[in-house]
């Protein structure tokens, strides 16, 4: 039995990359808010400034050091309104209309929207089971240089990639840095899913492996707390940092929100992350079990080691428009493949976000999805045929 959905959302929400509401620390944040407002509230009469509240920047610095083993300077960390504001600042500073920007073949739809707004020429690099192919990247960058249109920058989600779930191994991260240096192109590393690794060894960020000035790093607190907090940041040496800050004109990121989150995370960050990871890992196992049972004979999928997303390859004969209609009728939200395709192609994929949906609803949601996929097939296996296992689907 599915849980009752709110009026403004589908019953089976595989759509948005959000953590489970049960992990949001409402009570502890309330305590932190009372404590920090009493102690520092008078400072809220001032504007936050370009860099943002120092306490949360210090939390970000500690987080980066613990995750990647590298110290970064506090003045190299700039808070933003979520991780999307740094991406917007990158685009404002470096994305010239008509100039090439390199991205992964499939990537975050929000970033694609920002880059398309700036009318850049999106150059997509194929992915394999380990992430962006550096051989294809080298070829593309060489072609662009020879044409007299060098790439403005490379945007990558190297860890728990959105939507594919792939993670670039350390050897390929070093290759990526070598290729980028060879062609004198800056890398923009979007690492907002870095904390959410469920199995396998930790991989250092590209920024931690790079020489100063090679990489701009973007982080977020949204995936361990919630997008409603609107708190992210970027890390960059002054040579890159100041180029982005020249385009900032919003008065700064909320000091109130940053104070409260910093006060909470200073004492709870690693225990909270462990709680989020444990629940997300369990949900991913449940999702894989449901996919095996309900669509294992017609679909294939990646096996992410972390993150919030499952990339599902549909049968080639699926009518994607019909599928979107059917899943909506079933009360299912999920991401269409086209939303994440850099070339805006109608591709036979779906992105399933498993963080927000209640774990008890995953099996029924996937069962209904499997039914819709079969009914959307146009070949001999489809045409509205009954699902293979009525008990499942």
Task: State whether residue 225 is helix, strand or coil.
Answer: coil
Residue 192 near residue 233, CB atoms below 8 Å: no
What angle do the packed helices 255-295 and 362-376 form, to 10 degrees?
60
Q: Who's near 147: CB < 8 A, 6+ residues apart? A: none
Tokens of 58: 């210090």
> Taking a C-beta distance cutoff of 8 angstroms, is the pair 211, 234 a contact?
no
Residue with the two structure tokens 């240089």: 145
Mean pLDDT of 36-43: 91
Supply the pLDDT for residue 200: 86
Residue with tokens 């492996």: 209
How sure is the predictor about 393, in pLDDT bands with cuts at 50, 70 and 90? very low
Dig out the tokens for 300 from the structure.
């294939």
Going along the chain from its start, the domains and CATH numbers come out as 12-24+272-376 (3.90.1150.10), 26-269 (3.40.640.10)
Cα(194)–Cα(308) distance, integer angstroms = 11
pLDDT, tens digit (0-9, with 9 covering 90-100), for 197-249: 998 888 999 999 999 999 999 999 988 888 888 899 999 999 999 999 999 98
SS3 91: helix
- Cα–Cα distances (Å) from 123 to 22, 113, 216, 277, 343, in that order, read 39, 14, 19, 34, 8
Average pLDDT of the segment spanning 28-37: 94
Question: What CA–CA distance (Å, rounded) separates 186 from 101?
Answer: 11
**What's this model's pTM, rounded to 2 decimal places?**
0.92
pLDDT score, position 385: 43
The structure tokens listed for 138 are: 């080298």
Please state, in angstroms and rounded to a whole number, the distance separating the CA atoms of residues 329 and 358. 19
Concatenated DSSP letters for 1-12? Answer: -PPPPPTTS-SE
pLDDT value at position 202?
A: 87
DSSP for 322-353, written as a single string = HHHHHHHHTTEE-EEGGGGBTT----SEEEEE
For residues 12 and 356, what is the distance between their CA atoms, to the nearest angstrom?
10
Q: Say if residues 197 and 171 touch (Cβ distance below 8 Å).
A: no
User: In sequence order, what are the beta bridge partners of 187?
Assistant: 154, 215
With contact defined as beta carbons under 8 Å apart, do 370 and 294 qualify?
A: yes
Residue 194 sits at the vertex; the CA angle it makes with 65 and 184, to the nearest 5 degrees, is: 80
Separation between Cα atoms, residue 238 and residue 289, nearest integer Å: 48
Check residues 89 and 222 and name the one with the higher pLDDT: 89
**Mean of per-residue pLDDT scores for the chain:** 91
3-state secondary structure of 153: coil
Report the C-alpha dihedral over residues 145, 151, 152, 154, rounded to 10 degrees: -140
Neighbours of 304 (CB within 10 A): 25
Tens-digit pLDDT profile for residues 111-153: 999 999 999 999 999 999 999 999 999 999 999 999 999 999 9
Alpha-carbon distances of 275 from 24, 60, 198, 222, 281, rounded to whole Å: 10, 19, 12, 15, 10
CA–CA gap between residue 165 and residue 95 (Å, rounded): 26
Main-chain dihedrals φ then ψ at residue 160, nearest 5 degrees = 55, 55
| Residue among 305, 318, 309, 321 nearest 370 (CA) | 318
When pLDDT is averaged across residues 64-82 and rounded to a whole number, the result is 93
Does 155 score more than 80 pLDDT? Answer: yes
Helices 320-329/362-376 angle, 10° precision: 140
H/E run at residue 238: helix 238-245
């Amino acid at each position: 039995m599915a849980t009752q959905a709110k009026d403004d959302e589908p019953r089976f929400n595989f759509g948005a990359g959000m953590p489970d509401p049960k992990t949001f620390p409402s009570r502890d944040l309330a305590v932190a808010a009372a404590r920090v407002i009493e102690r520092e509230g008078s400072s809220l009469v001032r504007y936050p400034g370009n860099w943002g509240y120092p306490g949360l920047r210090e939390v970000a610095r500690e987080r980066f050091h613990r995750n990647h083993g590298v110290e970064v300077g506090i003045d190299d960390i700039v808070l933003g309104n979520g991780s999307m504001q740094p991406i917007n600042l990158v685009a404002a500073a470096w994305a010239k209309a008509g100039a090439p920007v390199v991205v992964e073949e499939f990537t975050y739809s929000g970033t694609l929207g920002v880059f398309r707004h700036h009318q850049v020429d999106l150059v997509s690099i194929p992915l394999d089971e380990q992430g962006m192919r550096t051989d294809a990247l080298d070829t593309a960058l060489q072609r662009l240089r020879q044409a007299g249109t060098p790439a403005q920058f490379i945007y990558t989600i190297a860890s728990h990639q959105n939507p594919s779930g792939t993670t670039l191994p350390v050897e390929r991260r070093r290759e990526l840095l070598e290729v980028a240096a060879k062609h004198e192109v800056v890398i923009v590393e979007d690492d907002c899913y870095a904390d959410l690794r469920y199995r396998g060894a930790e991989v250092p960020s590209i920024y931690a492996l790079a020489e100063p000035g090679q990489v701009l790093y973007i982080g977020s607190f949204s995936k361990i707390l919630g997008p409603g907090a609107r708190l992210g940041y970027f890390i960059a040496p002054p040579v890159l940092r100041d180029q982005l800050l020249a385009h900032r004109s919003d008065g700064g990121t909320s000091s109130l929100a940053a104070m409260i989150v910093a006060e909470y995370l200073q004492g709870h960050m690693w225990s909270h992350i462990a709680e989020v990871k444990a629940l997300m890992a369990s949900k991913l196992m449940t999702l894989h079990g449901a996919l095996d049972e309900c669509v294992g004979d017609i679909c294939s999928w990646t096996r992410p080691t972390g993150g919030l997303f499952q990339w599902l390859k549909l049968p080639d004969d699926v009518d994607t428009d019909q599928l979107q209609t059917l899943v909506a009728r079933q009360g299912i939200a999920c991401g269409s493949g086209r939303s994440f395709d850099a070339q805006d192609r109608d591709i036979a994929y779906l992105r399933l976000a498993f963080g927000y949906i209640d774990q008890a609803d995953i099996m029924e949601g996937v069962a209904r999805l499997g039914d819709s996929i079969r009914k959307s097939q146009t070949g001999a296996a489809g045409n509205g045929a009954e699902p293979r296992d009525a008990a499942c689907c």
